[in-house]
Amino acid sequence: MNNEIMEALKILEKERGLPMDYMLDRIEKAITTACKNSYGNENAKAVLDEKSGEFKVTLRKTVVENVEQPGTQITLEKARAIDPTVGIGDEVEVSVKTKEFGRIAAQTARNIIRQGIRDGERGQMLQEFQSKRQELVTALVDRVDPRSGAVSLRIGRSEATLPRSEMVGNEQFREGEHIKVYVVDVRDTERGPRAILSRTHPDLVKRLFEMEVPEIYDGTVEIKAVSREAGSRTKLAVMSHNPDVDAVGTCIGARGARVNAIVDELSGEKIDIVEYSDDPKKFIANALSPANVLDVEISEDGSHSCRVTVPDGQLSLAIGNKGQNARLAVKLTGWKIDIKPESGFYGENPLEHQEKPAEDQTAENE
């Protein structure tokens, strides 16, 4: 029996990562609890020796002339068979044969041991998830729910779910496939540890660039800001801490190899990489790329807003499809941006003297 227990604990440690010392402690406490309940003796103790596999249970009993409570008392004659020096009123430790445990005591011990296993697995899972919090991880697709589209993933020994709402566009995954996900947060719920996963979070792009670009990983190039509309477009602001290193060119890579690898990972999502600057005017102008900016006027009222002038023919390019370029620039810089054409007339053709309403050409950071 003892050998079976030790073998089972070794398997638990190897396959589930539950330390043997932890499980030995849980078993000892379980058996101790069972003894207390079964014999009505609070001075019960159970010890399972890891090396020998020997399992011992003892009850501390009081020596009396007449036993009225067998669970806590022992006669002088029996007590002196254990320790010849004891007398009436002394206490002695009495060994209990495990086969004498009743059905209820055994069941109690079994339940506590099972709970110990569940608690240990929960603790291991929580620890594993927490070590990956706000990091990019590679997960194995276990199952795809045909109705909701949610994907069940395996991350190390733990399981988690990537909901359809956190996937990019209409991307589809197959069972057995490895995918990259961002661990947004970890929560310890009543149903166990839960990892909040995403492929739409802006920091997913940031982590992908850290993996793909060694200069970012070693700190030569720094990502200062990211704004993203997942599945469509991302803007990334970078700066170099080495004057000999071009931050934008480094992130793009030779013939676009580095950025293209990330675009492929994001199912074709467009990525604009711009240079960050501590000068708000320069940073705002760069953020509106690919449009050329002629002038940036910073509001003096402290409202963190500005007016940007672009060539007449690039107004729609600066604003972008459905305002996307301007909207991403606002999120990237943190500035309210009012875009106007050089001629002062809204419309690509300066002959069309029809002024565009201010709200249609202003992008605000929501």
Each residue's pLDDT tens digit, 199-223: 999 999 999 999 999 999 999 999 9
Cα–Cα distance for residue pair 23/115, rounded to 1 Å: 11
Instruction: Give the DSSP per-residue string, 274-285.
Output: EE--SSHHHHHH
Nearby residues of 38 by Cβ (< 8 Å), 6 or more positions away: 71, 101, 102, 104, 105, 108
227 and 252 both lie in a single domain: yes
Tell me how crowded residue 244 is: count the other CB atoms within 10 A of its CB.
Answer: 6
**Which residue range(s) make up the domain with 181?**
132-198
Which pLDDT does position 106 carry in this prediction? 63
Last residue of some domain: 276, 305, 332?
Answer: 276
Residue with tokens 């690039």: 314
Instruction: Give the DSSP per-residue string, 178-192.
Output: EEEEEEEEEEEETTE
Query: Parallel, antiparallel, or unpaired for β 336-341 and 362-363?
Result: antiparallel
104 and 157 both lie in a single domain: no
Are the C-beta atoms of 330 and 365 separated by less than 8 Å? yes
Residues of the chain with pLDDT under 50: 1, 347-366
Residue type (1 letter), 298: I
Which pLDDT does position 3 carry in this prediction? 65
- The CATH number linked to 17 is 3.30.1480.10
157 and 229 both lie in a single domain: no
18 and 58 both lie in a single domain: yes
- Cα angle value 255/285/333 (rounded, 5°): 95
6 is written with which tokens?
A: 């030790």
Average pLDDT score over the chain? 83
User: Does residue 282 belong to any structural domain of this protein?
Assistant: no
User: Does residue 8 belong to any structural domain of this protein?
Assistant: yes
- Cα angle value 188/192/195 (rounded, 5°): 60
321 and 349 both lie in a single domain: yes
136 and 246 both lie in a single domain: no
124 and 6 both lie in a single domain: yes
User: Does residue 241 belong to any structural domain of this protein?
Assistant: yes
- pTM for the structure as a whole: 0.64
Cα–Cα distance for residue pair 11/54, rounded to 1 Å: 19
Each residue's pLDDT tens digit, 10-24: 877 777 677 878 777
Tell me how crowded residue 108 is: count the other CB atoms within 10 A of its CB.
Answer: 20
Torsion of CA 15, 20, 25, 27, to 10 degrees: 50
CA atoms within 13 A on the CB side of 211: 15
Last residue of some domain: 198, 217, 252?
Answer: 198
Last residue of some domain: 198, 220, 243?
Answer: 198
Cα–Cα distance for residue pair 56/78, rounded to 1 Å: 19
CA atoms within 13 A on the CB side of 209: 31
Nearby residues of 254 by Cβ (< 8 Å), 6 or more positions away: none
47 and 98 both lie in a single domain: yes
- The CATH number linked to 206 is 3.30.300.20
61 and 20 both lie in a single domain: yes
- The CATH number linked to 157 is 2.40.50.140
For residue 150, the 8-state DSSP code is -
247 and 328 both lie in a single domain: no
Phi, psi for residue 7 in degrees, rounded to 5: -65, -40
Cα–Cα distance for residue pair 26/117, rounded to 1 Å: 9
User: Does residue 281 belong to any structural domain of this protein?
Assistant: no
206 dihedral zone (left: phi>0; alpha: psi -120 to 50; beta):
alpha
User: Does residue 355 belong to any structural domain of this protein?
Assistant: yes
Number of domains in the chain: 4
Tell me how crowded residue 113 is: count the other CB atoms within 10 A of its CB.
Answer: 17
13 and 114 both lie in a single domain: yes
Cα–Cα distance for residue pair 109/40, rounded to 1 Å: 15
212 and 255 both lie in a single domain: yes
